Structure 1
Amino acid sequence: MFTLRKLALISINAKSKALHISLYLASKFNIGLGGLDGVTGLTGHDPTVSRLICTPIPAGECNPKNFRQQSDDQSLYAGEDWGYLRTTAEELRQTVLQQKDQILSDQRTIRELTGKLSESEEGLRFGATKGSTTSLLGESGISDSPERLADHGHKSGADNPWRMEDLEGELERKLELLEKERKALRLETEKHKEKIDHGISKLQNRISGLENGMSQHLFPEGYRLSFPTRTNYMYAVMKHSVPKLRAFTVCLWLRSTDVGIGTPLSYAVPEQANEVVLMQGMHTPAELLVNDKVAQLPLNLSRGSWQHICVSWNHKGGAWQAYQGGKLRGEGHALATGHHVRPGGVLVLGQEQDSLGGGFDSSQAMVGELSQVGLWDRVLSSNQVASLSRCSKITQGSVFTWTENGVGVFGGATKEPGEPCISIHRVLYDSIG
């Protein structure tokens, strides 16, 4: 239908243009459209405005040059604009040529459209014979939207009135199949998830069993914590909770591998990040902080060797003592007098806390090893401290004892077998033997 309509429009356009040219000629040259009118010219001819000149010429005396000269002689057309007439005639000739080119172009277009129409009709007949359901729906899914399927059905409905119903049925079957596959996939995913959860649960139980039953035998000769590099993420945490303390003693073995000891121990509570801190900067003396109050400790700590350190504090008068190698190195008072160390905090080894359990600064981190850290809820005597430095058998820390399950390591800190007292005992045994 589209092709026939276009052919009709082209024909009407061509007739309109031809009529326009005829009217244009008639208006310019005052030529009638009815036919010849004797010797005077065409019907409607007015001799007073005639542009046609008839000159009798004897037979044999017709010379084309005379006609050319006569046509170029403007004196024969008195009162007429000869140049205008020649320009108008040239325009008309160009118009006729353009119309001819347009007609040829329209003819080519008609031939092309006719060929495409024939190809389309052949394709529709072939599709009606072979059926195009699979091409519309695809072999493994829906390749076109329902709107395109419906549009295709409308276009071919005249030749195949059964096609839309067939397509709808096939579409419903495909949707049902996809829904079944999705349900089966969901069930299979849930089964896999249950298996994975069950496996994780078994693994967690196994790990708990290993930690509770076998961990005591991982380091039969004790262990030490290793902080190999200066970072803001490598640390250890004491798992035992800290109660309210009116006094305390902290003892530990340390071996620093960098300038200063960093922060061997820090205890923070929600109200105060510096509740209890033992630290030494790279170019500052060692310090004991209680409730963010500071006391400088006269300790002489060297790199590369194991050293035993103990510090104690009492809320009465804020008295404090500092021991190195079992000997008293310094003491003082007025350190957080009357303060009670608050419970429920986090005790970190190897880092200084600027917030509860975090806010670490690598410049304050410990680089080296720690071992046999103990915390008591009282002030130990000088004899008890000396016995600890000699690795003698005494009661372990009442608040925190050095066990493998009591310390968790994070960020790359590790537990290594062996501790300083085992090495000391071996040296003493070898010297006696």
Structure 2
Amino acid sequence: MLALVVGLLYLVAGRAVRSQDATGSRFVCNAIPPGAEPGCGYGPTGNRVQSSSPVEDELRNTIIQLRETILQQKETIVSQQGTIKELNSKLARCEAGSRRKEYGKNTMGDLPRDPSETIDQLGKTMQSLKGRLENLEQQSLRLPITNVSTAGVSALTPLPPELRELLRQRLGALETQLLRKVAELEEEKSQLYNETAAHRQRTESALNSLLERITELEKNNNAFKSPEDFKVSLSLRTNYLYGRIKKSLPEMYAFTVCMWLKSSASPGIGTPFSYGVPGQANEIVLIEWGNNPIELLVNDKVAQLPLSVSDGRWHHICITWTTRDGFWEAYQDGERLGTGDNLAPWHPIKPGGVIILGQEQDIVGGRFDATQAFVGELSQFNMWDRVLRPVDIMGLANCSAYMPGNVVPWIDANVEVFGGATKAALEICEDRAFDS
């Protein structure tokens, strides 16, 4: 810069000398006091001498322009240095923030930040810094250069290469830091998503295990207050709602079957239970269908029973039968309402069959008819291989005795339900007896 100023002075002085030589004039060099303008002439005594030479005016104007140019470039350099310091400060804050995050990672006191929000904020910061660099470059293109043409007009020059390179390096380093930070946040977001998915999977697994446990508890013997305190509900007259007793019957020469049931279906309550064996689907059947009374079938032989249970209340019924003369008895709510004989006399009950609750069997274990389906609730289905005494039957009906069947006891584990039939907790015996 100093060499350029000296050259300009030399050029202007040369022109002045040539002009004076042409006219025969001479110049006298005098010492200029400190702080005086170079364009002002001073005499030997230091007093200012007024000069109106056009060459001196041109020289003075040129020097003033050079001084202004130097001041402008100095201000520009100071401004750019401030920008560089600001970029360094931002980079230092980013690095400090990264170190603080590493120190605070995996601590219970740290509050999680939204990775997407942080990435967007860093992206906006990077775009802002790029814009500021572009503005600096555009401003540098408009800065005046230090050399002046012969006419004294300033030309334009780009930003000094060293400064531009320094700015690019700083911005490149900052961009690298930002990209690394974005990558770390993306990785953290991915890890957080994986941890969330794993936590959700563990939660669902725990819920499934709990559901399986609840289902298991509902199916085992502890599902109710006691194994026999449940009922089977058959709410629709269809050919697919039914229950099945897992246990079969041995060969028997007498039996007693007792149960609690409640139904308001009409016409007829349907088939509370049926027992079928190979070759005889109607080995034992209790049925009421159409306008017919309740009937007991043994080996497909029929006896009509004087029972009435379709009033929508709980009723306790018992049926006894013996092969001797085919004698039978019918009890309702502890009272014997009818007897008869000649019902499949001397016929033993065949073993190995299937007991179905709520449906009449046309083949063993199947081919149900919806018109003969039982609609209602039943419970305490027990079966003995002997004829119970009337006092025993009365004790079962009035809740003063508990006597499970020795052939088929009513327990939860011994009863399966299908097609939408359900098991539910049974009302206490006293409530059922009072209802009847």
Provide the TM-score with structure 2 as the length reference.
Answer: 0.49
Provide the TM-score with structure 1 as the length reference.
Answer: 0.49
